[in-house]
Chain A
Amino acid sequence: SATFQAYAKFTGAPLTVNAINKSWKAPKGEVPVLISEDAVISQPAKILNFLRKQKYNADYELSAKQGADTLAYIALLEEKLLPALLHTFWVEAENYCSVTKPWFASRIPFPLSLYLPGRMSREALNRILLTRGGPPLYSLTEVEAQIYRDAKECLNLLSKRLGTSQFFFGNTPSTLDAFVFGFLAPLYKVCFPRVQLQEHLKQLPNLCRFCDDILSFYFRLGVSGHSPAGQDSVDANLQKLTQLVNKESNLIEKMDDNLRKSPQHPPRKLTTLKLAAGGEESNLPSRLSP
C-alpha cells in the first residue's frame, strides 16, 4: 500500500490513510482498500484506474510509449522482485519471527493477531512455491536461491534504467515511480536480521537516493527515519494527520481559553467556530459578555 500512498502524494489526491487494523473488516478481506463515497475498490490496478478516472493522474505527461513501459516494468517487478520480497518479509524465519509478525500482530486486535500473520505467511510461501517452484528446482532452498538471484537481477535492471535521473520518466514522478517506491521502500527501510536483499539494494546508490528523495519530498520523513516495522509511510501519514489535528486542536484550545468564562458554550460549537475562524472571531466578544 506504500505504492498508493506514494501515488496519491504525487498526484495530490486527497487520500486519508485509515490504518485498517481489521483485515477481515475490509470488504473483501483484502488490503489495501480504497473507499470513496460509495465505491469500494480493492485491487491495486483498479485502485489506480479509479484514481485516474477521478482526474488524479500522475501519468498525464507521459507519452504512449512511456505508458507502455510502465506496464512492462510493473510486470517485471511483480514477476522478479515480488517473490523475494514476500520471502524476506513473510517466509524467512528470522525476519518473520522477529520483525514482521510482532509488528503486524501489534496492529491488529487479539485474537486475529494469532491467526492472520500465520495465514499471510502461508499464503506467501504458497504463492512462491506455486509460481516459482517445480522442476528442476526441487527443494525450498533451491527455489529461494533462484528467487533471490532474480530479485537481484531485477534491482540491477531498475538501477540501470533509472540511471542518474531523479524519476523514471524525467523530473516528475509517475505511476511507475509509485510502484517502484512501493516495492523498494519497505525493503530499504525496515531493519531485518537477514538482509541479503537489502544489502544488495544498498549497493545501488541511485535506487537508495530515489527512495530517500521520495520519502523526504513527499512523506516528510527524514533520511535517517528508521522505524522498526514495515509500512513506514503509514506511520508517516498518521504522524502528519496527527500533526494537523494537533494544530487544529491548538487553535481550538486558544478559542477555548477565550470561552472559558462562559461554560454554557459546549465544546461542540468549537467546530463551527473553527471552520469559519476568520468571520466568527469578531462575534466572540459579543457572546462572551453575558
Chain B
Amino acid sequence: AAEPWPENAALYQQLKEEQILLSDNASSLAVQAFLQMCNLPVRVVCRANAEYMSPSGKVPFIHVGNQVVSELGPIVQFVKAKGHSLSDGLDEVQKAEMKAYMELVNNMLLTAELYLQWCDDVTVEEITHPRYGSPYPWPLNRILSYQKQWEIRRKMKAIGWAGKSLEQVLEDVDQCCQALSQRLGTQPYFFNKHPTELDALVFGHLFTILTTQLTSDELCEKVKNYSNLIAFCRCIEQQYFEGHDKDSSSSATSRAAKRSLLR
C-alpha cells in the first residue's frame, strides 16, 4: 500500500541563476524528473548552503515529512519504500541492464561534467569559481571554491581521470552518448513504453548539457550528434515539465530561449 506523500515535500538545491553548477543541476533535474514521473509533487527550494545541509554532502536532497534523503539512488529506494516505483514492471535482466546503464551515466557523463567544471582551467576561471562561491563574501568564496576544486581533483586522480586531456574526456562523452543512443533506438523511453529512473537520470544530464552555456559548445555538440537523444529530452520536457512548476517557469523560458539559440 502506498504511504501518503506529504504536500510540503521539498527538494533543495543551490541557487539556480547564480550558483548552481552543471553537474549539480543535472543531478537535481534528474531527481525532479523522477519525482514527476512518479507523480509525486515536490517544491524546489533554492538555498545557498544546500550542499552543507545535505546528509551526504551532495545535492539535491529531498525533505519529506521528517526524513531527509539525498542523491538519486537513495531517493529511488526511499520512494520505493513508500510504495511508488517505476521499475517494478521490469524483469530481472532488464533491471540489471537499467542499473548498468545508470552506472554508465554516472561513470562517464557525471565524471566528465565534474572534469569540465573543475579540471579544465578555462571553465574553472570563467564559470566555476565565480559561480560556486557567489553567495559568500570574499575571501570565503575563493576559499570554498579552491577547497572544492582540490577535493574533486584528488578524486579524479584516484580514478585515473587527472591525466586525461579535454579531447579524451569529450571522446568519452561521445562514446557514452553513442551507447545511450543505440540503446534507446526509436523507442520513446529506454524500456519501451514507461519511463524509469534511467530515463530520469539520462534526461537530467543530457538536458542540462544541451541547455547550459559554457565557455565552448564542444560538450553540447557531442550530445547534439544524436538526434534521438534530443527528441527524447524534448519529449520528457514537454510531458513532465511544461506548465508544472511555477517557480521554474522563468527558468523554463530561459531554457527555451537557450534552446532556440542552439537551434
Contacts and interface: CB of A to CB of B under 8 A. Distances in A.
A286 B101 CA distance: 70
Interface string A46-87: 000000000000000000110111011101101110000000
Contacts of B182: 64-65, 67-68
Interface stretch (A1-9, A127-135, A231-239, A272-280): A127-135
Interface string B105-121: 01110000000000000
A136 interface: yes
Interface string A115-157: 0000000010011001100111000000000000000000001
Given A68-B182, A127-B158, A136-B55, A79 B96 contact: no
A109 interface: no
Central interface residue in A64, A68, A76, A158, by most chain B CB within 10 Å:
A68
A134 B179 contact: no
A160 interface: yes
Given A65-B185, A69-B97, A75-B103, 20 more contacts: A68-B180, A69-B100, A71-B104, A73-B100, A75-B104, A76-B100, A78-B103, A78-B107, A79-B106, A79-B107, A126-B158, A127-B159, A130-B158, A131-B158, A134-B56, A135-B56, A160-B92, A160-B96, A161-B96, A161-B97
B83 interface: no
A163 interface: yes
A195 to B, nearest CB: 25
13 contacts: A71-B104, A71-B175, A71-B176, A75-B106, A76-B100, A79-B107, A126-B158, A135-B55, A135-B57, A136-B55, A157-B95, A160-B95, A163-B93
A178 B98 CA distance: 21
Q: Main SS of chain B's interface residues? A: helix
Interface of A: 43, 64-65, 67-69, 71-73, 75-76, 78-80, 123, 126-127, 130-131, 134-136, 157-158, 160-161, 163
Given A65-B185, A67-B182, A131-B159, A75 B100 contact: yes
Given A134-B57, A160-B93, A75 B107 contact: yes
Given A76-B103, A127-B158, A68 B183 contact: yes
B258 interface: no
Interface string B19-44: 00000000000000000000000000
A78 B106 CA distance: 11
Contacts, number: 74
B93 A161 contact: yes
B179 A72 contact: yes
A162 B182 CA distance: 21
Contacts of A71: 104, 175-176, 179
Contact count band on B: 20 to 34
A79 B103 CA distance: 7
B212 interface: no
B175 A76 contact: no
B194 interface: no
A80 B103 CA distance: 9
Contacts of B92: 160
B99 interface: yes
B40 to A, nearest CB: 23
Contacts of A73: 100
Interface of B: 55-57, 92-93, 95-97, 99-101, 103-104, 106-108, 154-155, 158-160, 175-176, 178-180, 182-183, 185
A155 to B, nearest CB: 11
Nearest to B155: A130
A199 B155 CA distance: 31
Contacts of A64: 182
A161 B182 CA distance: 19
Nearest 9 A/B pairs, CB to CB: A68-B179, A72-B100, A75-B104, A157-B96, A75-B107, A64-B182, A76-B100, A68-B182, A72-B104
Nearest to A64: B182
Contact of A72 (B103, B155, B159): B103
A73 B100 CA distance: 5
A68 B185 CA distance: 11
A211 B96 CA distance: 20
B107 A130 contact: no
B158 A72 contact: no
A68 B180 CA distance: 7
B122 to A, nearest CB: 25
B29 to A, nearest CB: 21
A161 B90 CA distance: 13
B107 A69 contact: no
A68 B101 CA distance: 9
Contact of A68 (B55, B158, B178): B178
A72 B155 CA distance: 21
B183 A65 contact: yes
A73 to B, nearest CB: 5
A135 B52 CA distance: 11
A123 B158 CA distance: 8
Contacts of A69: 97, 100, 183
